[in-house]
Amino acid sequence: MKNISKFTSYNPIICLILAAFLIYGCGKEEVPQVAAVQETVKVTEKVEKKIVAKLPNLGQNAEDYYTFGIKAIKEGNFTMAVQAWEKAIEIDPTMVKVYNYLGRAYYTQGMIEGAIDAYKKAVELDSANPKSYINLGIAYRYDEEYELAIEELNKAIELNPLSALAYDEIGMSLMKLEKHDDAIAALKNAAAIDPEFPQPHNHLGVIYLMQGKSKDADTEFKKFEELMKEKNAKQAKIMGGSSH
């Protein structure tokens, strides 16, 4: 009985020793698992490095970076194109064509503040070019700064009174400001200047619908569809494809 009682009294101690052994043993077995996680992180880092391409060093010629950006955008590499153009204007801050390309790139990606800044710089450097004001006006309209958009677009018309695009953009901004009569006048000017320009008719149709003039709206929408078909047919012919 004494022997049994002695064994019983030592039993908890033995259990503790065994538990400690198991805990430390499990800890040693978990080490490879930690290492495996670290390896996974390393693999992920390598993949990310492959995705993020680095702009090559083309020297200090801004024109080389501009050309490289054009090539990159044609290949669908937007990020590389922007990097190249930003480098070009870093080397030559007076390179107007680069600001226009950058503005368009930013605009396309929804980076409207960057687009506005780029187009402002283009206007500053090339104040006699109506296209610069049109680009800036479109960016302002996209940013819902309709009054500023109209102001820039009117500057474009002062330089080129036959700019159908400028009148169409003014019409869209006036429509947003709910100045429908003035918008209609601007859009009709655009359609008169360029009878093959589809967009003014679509915008006129929208305004007429808002005014409850369904017949006039229908006429404009049909005209828009006809002109779009003609435009697509001409583009298909130029590309050597089917005209239907």
Cα–Cα distances (Å) from 226 to 160, 187, 191, 201, 229, in that order, read 27, 17, 14, 10, 5
Nearest by Cα to 99 from 79, 71, 119, 77: 119
**pLDDT, tens digit (0-9, with 9 covering 90-100), for 22-48:** 334 444 333 333 333 344 444 444 444
Residue 36 to residue 46: CA distance in whole angstroms = 16
Choice among 9-13, 51-55, 179-183 with the minimum mean pLDDT? 9-13
Q: Is 127 exposed, middle or buried (0-12, 13-18, 19+ CB in 10 A)?
A: exposed
Averaged pLDDT for residues 8-18: 43
pTM of the model: 0.72
> Residue 241: its pLDDT value, please?
56
- Residue with the two structure tokens 């605009």: 107
Question: At CB < 8 A and 24+ separation, what contacts does 209-214 make?
Answer: 210/180, 211/180
Confidence of residue 113 (pLDDT cuts 50, 70, 90): very high
Considering the domain delimited by 56-114, tell me its CATH architecture: Alpha Horseshoe (1.25)
* Average pLDDT over every residue of 186-199: 98
Residue 149 pLDDT exceeds 50: yes
Query: Is pLDDT of 94 > 80?
Result: yes
Q: What is the mean pLDDT of residues 103-108?
A: 91
- Please determine, for residue 151, whether its predicted confidence score (pLDDT) is greater than 60: yes
pLDDT surpasses 90 at 157:
yes
- Separation CA 9–CA 88 (nearest Å): 84
**Which pLDDT tens digit goes with each residue over 45-65?**
444 444 557 888 888 899 999
Tokens describing residue 132: 């610069």
Q: What is the domain partition of the chain in residue ranges?
A: 1-52, 56-114
Residue 214 pLDDT? 96
HSE-up (13 A, CA, CB side) for residue 62: 14
Q: At what angle do helices 199-210 and 214-239 cross, to 10 degrees?
A: 160
Q: Which of 33-42, 148-157, 189-198 has the lowest mean pLDDT?
A: 33-42
pLDDT for 51 equals 55
Mean pLDDT of 74-78: 88
The whole-number pLDDT of residue 36 equals 36
Hey, what are 134's tokens?
A: 């049109």
Question: Which residues have CB under 8 Å from 223's CB, separation 6+?
Answer: 198, 201
- Average pLDDT over all residues of the chain: 82
User: What is the distance between the alpha carbons of residues 146 and 139, in angstroms, rounded to a whole number?
Assistant: 10
Mean pLDDT for 100-114 is: 91
Distance CA 214, CA 216 (A): 6
What does the pLDDT read at residue 8?
Answer: 41
Question: Long-range contacts for 122-126 (Cβ within 8 Å, ≥24 apart)?
Answer: 122/96, 123/152, 125/94, 125/96, 125/99, 126/96
